[in-house]
Amino acid sequence: MALPKYTEPHYRIWHYFYLFICSCVFFFLIAPLFVIFPLSFNAEEFLVFSDGMKRLDPDAFSLRWYKDMIYGTKNPWGLAAKNSFIIALFATLGSVILGTVAALGLSSRHMPYKGIIMAALISPMIVPLIISGVAIFFFMAKVGLAATHTGIVLAHIVLGTPFVVITVTATLSGFDHSVTRAAASLGSDPVNTFMKITLPLILPGVISGGLFAFVTSFDEVVVVLFLAGLDNTTIPIQMWTGLREQLSPTILAVATCLIILSTLILVTAELLRRRSERIRGINR
Amino acid sequence: MSRETQKILTTDGIPLEESLKKAEKKNKLKAFLLVCPLLLFLIITYVFPIGDMLFRSIDDRMVTNMLPKTYKAMENWDGKDLPDEEVFEAFYLDYKKLVEDKTFGKLATQLNYEKNGFKSILKKLKRKMKKFEEGNYKEQIMGVHKRWTNVEYWRALKRRAPAYSYSKYLKGVDMYENEDGKIVQVPEDRRVHKILWVRTVEVAFFVTVLCFLMAYPIAHLLATLPMKYSNLLMICVLLPFWTSLLVRTASWMILLQQQGIVNDFFVWIGLVSDENRPEMMYNKTGTYVAMTQILLPFMVLPLYSVMKTISPSLMRAGKSLGGTPFVAFWKVYFPLTIPGIGAGCLLVFILAIGYYITPALVGGASGTLISNQIAFHMKSTLDWSFASAMGLMLLTGVLAIYWVYNKLVGVDNIKLG
């Protein structure tokens, strides 16, 4: 973004002002995440930078809160993490299967009422979570699935499928349907064609949709707040309770772990997106 | 030669047109069957529950079923003077049964919603009822408390007779049906919901504006920078996008607390003195700041994907035709980004209007939104039908915007990451 030599001074000033604004916004976006790292290593119980930390005194830092997270007494995080992973895995599986199959139908050019059905399938993403939470809670209570893993998994499948539908239909939009016709003409049945031809080609889209569904479930708190009993507590529920009652540095330790997890997911998703674009022959 | 023979036939003798139609129909069915599992799943676990919520919000059968004899007897009552002995007797019998079943507490709560003071006189009636003698219930009930002689209470009772009512919706906008059956506003000091609706729209609107003002420059920068720099900067947008909402809210709680870094900074540059650090959390400021940062990526991504498609040569052409960079930007570049602006703004507005977690954690009392009120009625007052009614009012608003969004942008154009 170097400016040409002939740029007039006031445009030059304007340009630097623009860059300054942009840096401020980027700072605003990313800086809050980095506050958590150092404070999670705080040796003291307060959530402010101690004088020792400002002097970079090694004694002011400790792994105390990480130990508390893992070995602490009456520690809720172990159970919460287990529940979160189990629920998120099953919810992802369900969302991916239902979402991918639906996306195959939606991207067929024979699909009737495509627009309206797509809008309906995406709606759980748009409807405020509190409303979904209330509605699903009434339903699950009625069928006796409130406070069970099954109930939460079903609710999370509802919330996760829109992401799978969006990513997979996007991937399929550049899909060359003549390859499936070729497979069919060579005597392959539709299921075999899907497993051997279509799926490998759209796999990046499916996985990235799955990642979205995973994150949605793993991070979801509103619906679980209504549905969960004591045995179904998840990481977000524990964080929510902790943030409401007492902000302890243990929460920051958990938050740090979550940031690392989301970084890993981000990198995977980005790599997949590029791969998917390469496969589809989109060069940007 | 007749027209019939001119028709092209397929090998098995069926006219081609018909055969094609059949094939087309088969394909349609195939596509539809693929969508079916998800559609059915959503209908059962999502659409049906929302319909159930609608039913719950107007369902008022609880009181009706609790006092069947009373309402039967009341059918002939004109509601002007105190009802006859017949009604009193029916009410006594109904209430006696409720006391025996130990469900009278629910009735007391419900009737107290209708008119204050019902709870205490029902409790008193329950105590005195044990000594009631047969016959002349009117006098005996009226002797329990002087409010039982007040016709207003009997009218209030009668108002709960219909099995379905829209009173919860009226309550949601601070209105009620008064004694004469007219719809009026509640007294000024009790209009809490209107404030919340206004605040919700206001917060959603200003968060959208703030997001737009911040997202536009950076989306432009991301779209015009060479790939290797923009990919790096894109991480700044995507990392918050993928990070847990609670983590981001927690970091704002740390930053905005009174001894927090933002306040430290203000003191350091001398904006405020150390003694009176401003409260930036547990009020509207907290809600605004945190929500803007959390929703910003949802504005940047649609803007970026539109700006990416605008050729830089258009700006150059504008400038070469004599426009200053500002004119070229305003007349050429900006109009081309309007689809992205529409998409981003609608998305952020829709998400902001139903926000729950962040306002609940950093909003305090003055920064909570309508969602928090719904949760409050679900969890604390247990007035589920009112929570449903408010939820559906919010849902109607959101679906209206979603409809506009679908018309303008098309849901199949939503891009993620």
CB-CB: which of B31, B391, B417 is closest to A105?
B31
Q: In this structure, are B38 and B74 located in the same domain?
A: no
Q: What domain range includes position B141?
A: 61-163
Domain count, chain B: 3
Hey, of A29, A139, A193, A263, which one would you mutate to test binding to chain B, going by the most B CBs within 10 A of its CB? Answer: A29
Instruction: Quote the CA–CA distance of B151 and B88 in Å, as a whole number.
Output: 12
Residue B151 amino acid letter: V
Examine residue B219 and state whether it is found in any structural domain, yes or no.
yes
Q: Does residue B346 register a pLDDT over 60?
A: yes
Taking only the tens place, the pLDDT of each residue in A192-227 is 998 888 898 888 889 989 999 999 999 999 999 999
Strands B183-185 and B175-177: antiparallel
Average pLDDT of span A22-48: 86
Domain segments of chain A as ranges: 78-279
Q: How many CA atoms lie within 13 A of B33 on its CB side?
A: 6
Q: In this structure, are B157 and B40 located in the same domain?
A: no
Examine residue B224 and state whether it is found in any structural domain, yes or no.
yes
Q: Do the chains contact at A263 and B239, CB–CB below 8 Å?
A: yes
- List, as ranges, residues 219-278 from B with C-beta within 8 Å of A: 221, 224-225, 233, 235-240, 242-255, 257, 259-261
Selection from B194, B162, B154, B179 nearest residue B58 by Cα: B162
Class of the CATH-defined domain A78-279: mainly alpha
Average pLDDT of span B225-246: 87
Examine residue B175 and state whether it is found in any structural domain, yes or no.
no
B213 near A CB under 8 A: no
Hey, of B246, B291, B298, B330, which one would you mutate to test binding to chain A, going by the most A CBs within 10 A of its CB? Answer: B246
Average pLDDT of span B350-355: 91
pLDDT number for residue B49 = 93
Chain A's closest residue to B416, CA to CA, is A167
Q: For A124-128, A157-161, A261-265, B124-128, which range has the lowest pLDDT when averaged over its residues?
A: B124-128
Q: In this structure, are B137 and B69 located in the same domain?
A: yes
Average pLDDT of span B285-291: 91
Examine residue B186 and state whether it is found in any structural domain, yes or no.
no
Hey, of B168, B238, B247, which one would you mutate to test binding to chain A, going by the most A CBs within 10 A of its CB? Answer: B247
* Chain B residues within an 8 Å CB radius of A13: none
Q: In this structure, are B288 and B406 located in the same domain?
A: yes
A68 near B CB under 8 A: no
pLDDT number for residue A283 = 42
Q: In this structure, are B214 and B363 located in the same domain?
A: yes
Last residue of a domain, one of B58, B86, B103: B58
The angle subtended at Cα B297 by Cα B293 and Cα B298, nearest 5°, is 110
Examine residue B9 and state whether it is found in any structural domain, yes or no.
yes
Last residue of a domain, one of B16, B41, B58: B58
Instruction: Quote the CA–CA distance of B45 and B329 in Å, as a whole number.
Output: 49
Instruction: Quote the CA–CA distance of A120 and A99 in Å, as a whole number.
Output: 13
pLDDT band, residue B38 (cuts 50/70/90):
very high
CB-CB: which of B32, B238, B239 is closest to A105?
B32
Which has the higher per-residue pLDDT, B208 or A270?
A: B208
Using alpha carbons, list the distances in angstroms from residue B335 to B310, B407, B411.
11, 19, 22
- List, as ranges, residues 136-155 from A with C-beta within 8 Å of B: 136-139, 142, 154-155
* Chain A residues within an 8 Å CB radius of B296: 25, 28-29
Q: Do the chains contact at A208 and B417, CB–CB below 8 Å?
A: yes
A3 near B CB under 8 A: no
pLDDT band, residue B348 (cuts 50/70/90):
very high
Q: In this structure, are B103 and B240 located in the same domain?
A: no
Chain A's closest residue to B399, CA to CA, is A127
A4 near B CB under 8 A: no
HEC readout, chain B: CCHHHHCCECCCCCEHHHHHHHHHHHHHHHHHHHHHHHHHHHHHHHHHHHHHHHHHHHECHHHHHHCHHHHHHHCCCCCCCCCCHHHHHHHHHHHHHHHHHCCHHHHHHHHHHHCCCHHHHHHHHHHHHCCCCCCCHHHHHHHHCHHHHCHHHHHHHHHCCCCECCHHHHHHCCEEECCCCCEEECCHHHCHHHHHHHHHHHHHHHHHHHHHHHHHHHHHHHHHCCHHHHHHHHHHHHHHHHCCHHHHHHHHHHHHCCCCHHHHHHHHCCCCCCCCCCCCCCCHHHHHHHHHHHHHHHHHHHHHHHHCCCCHHHHHHHHHCCCCHHHHHHHHHHHHHHHHHHHHHHHHHHHHHCCCHHHHHHCCCCCCCHHHHHHHHHHHHCCHHHHHHHHHHHHHHHHHHHHHHHHHCCHHHCCCC
Taking only the tens place, the pLDDT of each residue in A51-61 is 777 777 777 78
Q: In this structure, are B240 and B159 located in the same domain?
A: no
- List, as ranges, residues 208-247 from A with C-beta within 8 Å of B: 208, 212, 215, 218-219, 221-222, 225-226, 236, 239-240, 243-244, 247
Start-to-end CA distance of chain A, whole Å, equals 19
10 Å CB burial of residue B266 (0-12, 13-18, 19+) is middle
* Chain A residues within an 8 Å CB radius of B46: 124, 132, 135-136, 158
Q: Both tokens of residue B92?
A: 């006594």
pLDDT number for residue A279 = 67
Q: In this structure, are B243 and B204 located in the same domain?
A: yes
pLDDT band, residue A84 (cuts 50/70/90):
very high
The angle subtended at Cα A23 by Cα A22 and Cα A26, nearest 5°, is 90
Residues in contact with B256: Cβ distance below 8 Å, sequence separation at least 6, in sequence order: B262, B263, B280, B281, B285, B286, B289, B290, B362
Chain A's closest residue to B48, CA to CA, is A139
Q: How far is A25 from chain B (nearest CA, A)?
A: 6
pLDDT number for residue B413 = 63
What ipTM does the predicted assembly reach?
0.87
Q: Does residue B296 register a pLDDT over 90?
A: yes
Q: How many CB pairs under 8 A join A and B?
A: 263
Q: Radius of gyration over alpha carbons of chain B, in Å?
A: 32
pLDDT number for residue B178 = 74
Q: What is the CATH number of the domain that holds B408?
A: 1.10.3720.10
Instruction: Quote the CA–CA distance of B291 and A126 in Å, as a whole number.
Output: 17
Q: Do the chains contact at B353 and A269, CB–CB below 8 Å?
A: no
Q: Do the chains contact at B293 and A28, CB–CB below 8 Å?
A: yes
A192 near B CB under 8 A: no
Q: In this structure, are B82 and B218 located in the same domain?
A: no
Instruction: Quote the CA–CA distance of A112 and A129 in Å, as a whole number.
Output: 29
Give the predicted TM-score (pTM) of the model: 0.86
Q: Does residue A1 register a pLDDT over 70?
A: no
CB-CB: which of B225, B252, B356 is closest to A129?
B356
Taking only the tens place, the pLDDT of each residue in A151-195 is 999 999 999 999 999 889 888 887 888 888 899 899 999 889 988
Q: How far is A74 from chain B (nearest CA, A)?
A: 22
Q: In this structure, are B222 and B330 located in the same domain?
A: yes
Q: In this structure, are B157 and B214 located in the same domain?
A: no
Q: In this structure, are B45 and B69 located in the same domain?
A: no
pLDDT number for residue B211 = 96
Selection from B168, B169, B172, B197 nearest residue B354 by Cα: B197
B364 near A CB under 8 A: no
Percentage of residues in chain B with pLDDT exceeding 90? Answer: 24
CB-CB: which of B42, B46, B356 is closest to A130?
B356
Q: Do the chains contact at B236 and A161, CB–CB below 8 Å?
A: no
Which has the higher per-residue pLDDT, B328 or B417?
A: B328
